[in-house]
Amino acid sequence: MDNLQSELCIPDADLNDDTSEDDASHTSLKRAGLLHVYPIKGRKMWKESGFHKTARLCLQAIQDAVLHHRWQEAAQYLDVYTQTLEDTTISKQSVACEILWRLGTEVLQHHPKKELEHFNVLYERMKNTGVKNFAKICLEHTFHLLLNGQIQNAKQQLSAAMSWRYGKHSASQGLELKLIHAYCGFLDYLLWSSKRQAFSDADDCGNNHEMHCYFRHASVTLQEIIKQPGVWDPFVYGCVDMLEFYNDEEEALKLLQNYAYNDKFPSNPNAHVYLYEHQLRHKASPAQLIKTLKVLHSLVPSHELMLDYCTLLIKSGQQKNQQHALSVAMNLLEHACWKTDVKAWTCLLHILKYFKRRKNFKKLIKEEWEQRKDLWLKMHFKTLHSRMDSEALMSVKVKVLLRVGLYKSRYSMKYYDNQKKMMARQGKKAKNMIFWK
C-alpha cells in the first residue's frame, strides 16, 4: 500500500507537465513533485500548493485506514479525495483517477454496507475520467457483474466497450480491446449454456432459435480469437462444448489439436488436458491417448493424469512403454505434492508386481532402485515418516520396499511394531468381551 505510487509507473516526463495557475505563482521555489510522487533529490521542484498538500494527506489517511481495515473511514476519505479529479493538470488527474479506481474497488469490496449500485457508479465514473485505463475498467466491471449473476448486464457493458473510440487512447489499448471482443463471445456462450440448462429435452435445445443465435455469435467470435496465438483456455473450453453439443466432433478435435500442437502458440499444459478429455469422451485409441499424455508428461511430470498415463503404458503391451511406466511413477513420487498420496504409491506397487512376474524386468527394477535409493530412503522412509504416515500409506510403502528388495529398514520395523501393538490391543479387547459375556 505504501508503494502504490511506484506501482503506477509514472514516467519522468510527467514531472515536467503543465502546472495549474496556483503552482505557477511559486516558480522561484522548489516543487514537491506530482500530486502523489515523492520529491527526487537533486531535481529542481515547484512548491506544493495547499490543494495538493491536502490531497496528499487525504491519500495517506486512506492508505492508513485501508491498512488497518477501517473501511467506513476509508470510504469517507475517498469521497473527499474525488475532488482531485478536477485538477487542472492532466497527468495528476490521470494518476488520481487510477488511485480512486484501485482503492475505491478495494474499499467497496470490504465495506459492510456495500451494494452493487455503488460499484456501478464508481466504474462508470472511472471509465469517463480514466480513458487511459478504459478497457481494463470495463473488463473489471464485467467480471464484477458476472460474479453477481448479471450476465445480461455484463454483455451490455462489453458491447458498449466494443464500440468505444477515443483517438490514440483507444489505439494504445488494442490488446485489452481484443480481450473484450473475446469475452463478448464467451458471454454469448454462457447465455447459450444457461438456455441449454433450461431445457430438459436435447431435441428442444437443438431446435430453439434463440439458443442457435447465441451459438452462432459465440462460435464465430471464439473461433476467430482462438486462431490467434495465445492462452485461451476458457474460450477453447466453451467453443468445444458447443461444437460437441451440435455433434461437430471433427471440428472440435481439429480445434483442440491446433491449440495443443501449433508451434506458434505458447506452451500450455491445459491444451493437452482438454485434448485428452475430448479423446476419452469419444473413445479414442490407447495409442492416441498415450501420445497426448506423453507431451503432457514432458511439460508437467507431476500432473494428476500421470496415473492414467502409467496405466495406459502398462496395458499397451509394449516393453518400451512398460519400462517407461516405472520411471513415470517413481518420478511422480519425487514431487512433494505426491509424497503421501496413497493412489500414487498403489500405482507404483501395481507396476512392481507386474514386473516381478516377468524375469526380463527384474533387472530394470534393480537398476531404477539403485539410482534412487539414497534419495528415497531420505525422502520417504525415515523414522519421522513412519510417525506421520497413515496406516494405509505405510502398508503400501512397506510392500514397495519388499518389491525392490529392501527387507529390513527402520521404516519397515516401525510398521511391523505398530501392527503387533494393534493386534495385541485387539486380542486384549476380544478377551475382555469374552469375560463379560
The values of phi and psi at residue 46, to 5°, are -90, 160
Mean pLDDT for the stretch of residues 234-262: 94
Calpha distance 29→308 (Å, rounded)? 73
Residue 275 in contact with residue 236, Cβ under 8 Å? no
pLDDT of 257 higher than 90: yes
Which residues, including other chains, have CB under 8 Å from residue 294's CB and lie 6 or more apart? Answer: 309
**pLDDT tens-digit readout, 188-229:** 999 999 888 877 665 566 567 888 888 999 999 999 999 999
Query: What would the pLDDT profile of 372-413 be if each residue is shown by its tens digit?
Result: 999 999 999 888 888 888 889 999 999 999 898 887 778 878
Spatial separation of the C-alpha atoms in residues 141 and 38, rounded to whole Å: 31
- Specify whether domain 180-198+207-282 bears CATH 1.10.3470: no
| pLDDT band (50, 70, 90) for residue 88 | low
Among candidate residues 110, 116, 162, 171, the one with its CA nearest the CA of residue 138: 162
Mean pLDDT of the chain: 81
pLDDT attached to residue 131? 65
Residue with cell 453477481: 148
Per-residue model confidence (pLDDT) at position 125? 83
Predicted pLDDT at 173: 66
Q: What is the rounded distance in angstroms from the CA atom of residue 290 to the CA atom of residue 312?
A: 7
The set of residues, in sequence order, having a beta carbon less than 8 Å from that of 137 and lying 6+ positions away, is 101, 123, 126, 127, 130
Cell of residue 325, nine digits: 511406466
pLDDT confidence bin for 359, thresholds 50/70/90: confident
Per-domain boundaries in the chain: 49-149, 180-198+207-282, 285-436
Query: Which pLDDT tens digit goes with each residue over 299-352?
Result: 999 999 999 999 999 999 888 999 999 999 999 999 999 999 999 999 999 999
Type of residue numbered 393: L
Position with higher pLDDT, 207 vs 355: 355
Confidence of residue 11 (pLDDT cuts 50, 70, 90): very low
- Grid coordinates representing 129 are 475520467
Distances from the Cα of 231 to the Cα of 243, 263, 267, 270, angstroms: 20, 13, 9, 9
